[in-house]
Amino acid sequence: MTSKLYKNRFELFFISQLLILFGSLIIPIEFFRETLMPILFLFNIASGIILISKKKIHTWGLIILFCVSLLLLAINIVQQKDDDALSFIGFGVYFLFYATVTVEIIRQVWNAKEVNKNVIVGLMSGYVSLGLIAFFVFSSIELSDPGAFKGLLFQGTDFSGKLDSLLYYSYITVLTIGYGDIVPVTSIAQKAAMFVGLCGQFYIVIITAVVVQKFLAFNDSREKKD
């Protein structure tokens, strides 16, 4: 069972990411945000534990993060209100999780001897993880310095109302599309946006290019054998 889950580790992780990002398209937004989103993040962490399970030290680290996430979820259910301190802790937990898993995904994709469906899905999930890392960075900045990003307030004056806009902005920045509807207006926010944009470009130019080169080399060697 464990070996089968590990074999499909990238698919499990990628599916959980897609559910987090696009589940609200088919489920009422309030119910999704308040009830399903925390559960999906827990499922995402669990699939990340499977993905990184070959490294025991990192696995135990993710298990600890999973337990902290469960504790934060329980506290939020009991309090039934937003708490800035808990939000900071939560963002830190998820940032550490996605940073650790993204590095491991890149390592596994980079070291793959042949490019198959599993590697391609891993490549995509690594790129999606960059957007989620950016989301937690930008959210922490906005939480600590409200108004750091201009264009979020139409979602509402409370912080939770800004999260969808921050998620959108995170991926627009990783993709380097830059529509200009949301703009970083403080120094730290601007530098964070620059860093995220560079990471997105480095991933495409370096990691994706290496995978494509391996794919072409593998196909070329297979054709020569035939």
Q: What is the pLDDT of residues 65-89, one digit of tens each?
A: 888 887 876 776 666 566 667 777 8
Q: Is the pLDDT reported for residue 130 higher than 80? A: yes
Of 31-40, 50-59, 157-166, 173-182, least confident by mean pLDDT is: 157-166
Cα dihedral: 166, 171, 173, 176 (round 10): -160
Give 203 or 160, the one with higher predicted confidence.
203
Q: What is the pTM of this model?
A: 0.87
3-state secondary structure of 26: coil
pLDDT at 156: 53
Q: According to the model, what pLDDT value does residue 36 have?
A: 87
User: Dihedral sign, CA of 59, 91, 200, 32?
Assistant: positive
Q: Which of 11, 5, 13, 6 is nearest to 129 (CA)?
A: 13
* Cα-to-chain-centroid distance, residue 60: 20
For the chain, the first-to-last Cα distance in angstroms comes to 36
pLDDT the model gives residue 127: 95
State the chain's maximal CA–CA distance in angstroms: 65
Asked if pLDDT for residue 155 goes beyond 60, the answer is no
pLDDT for 222: 65
**With helix as H, strand as E and coil as C, how does 76-137 read?**
HHHHCCCCHHHHHHHHHHHHHHHHHHHHHHHHHHHHCCCCCHHHHHHHHHHHHHHHHHHHHH
Q: Which candidate, 1, 215, 224, 12, places its Cα nearest to that of 114?
A: 215
Contact 179, 172 (CB under 8 A): yes
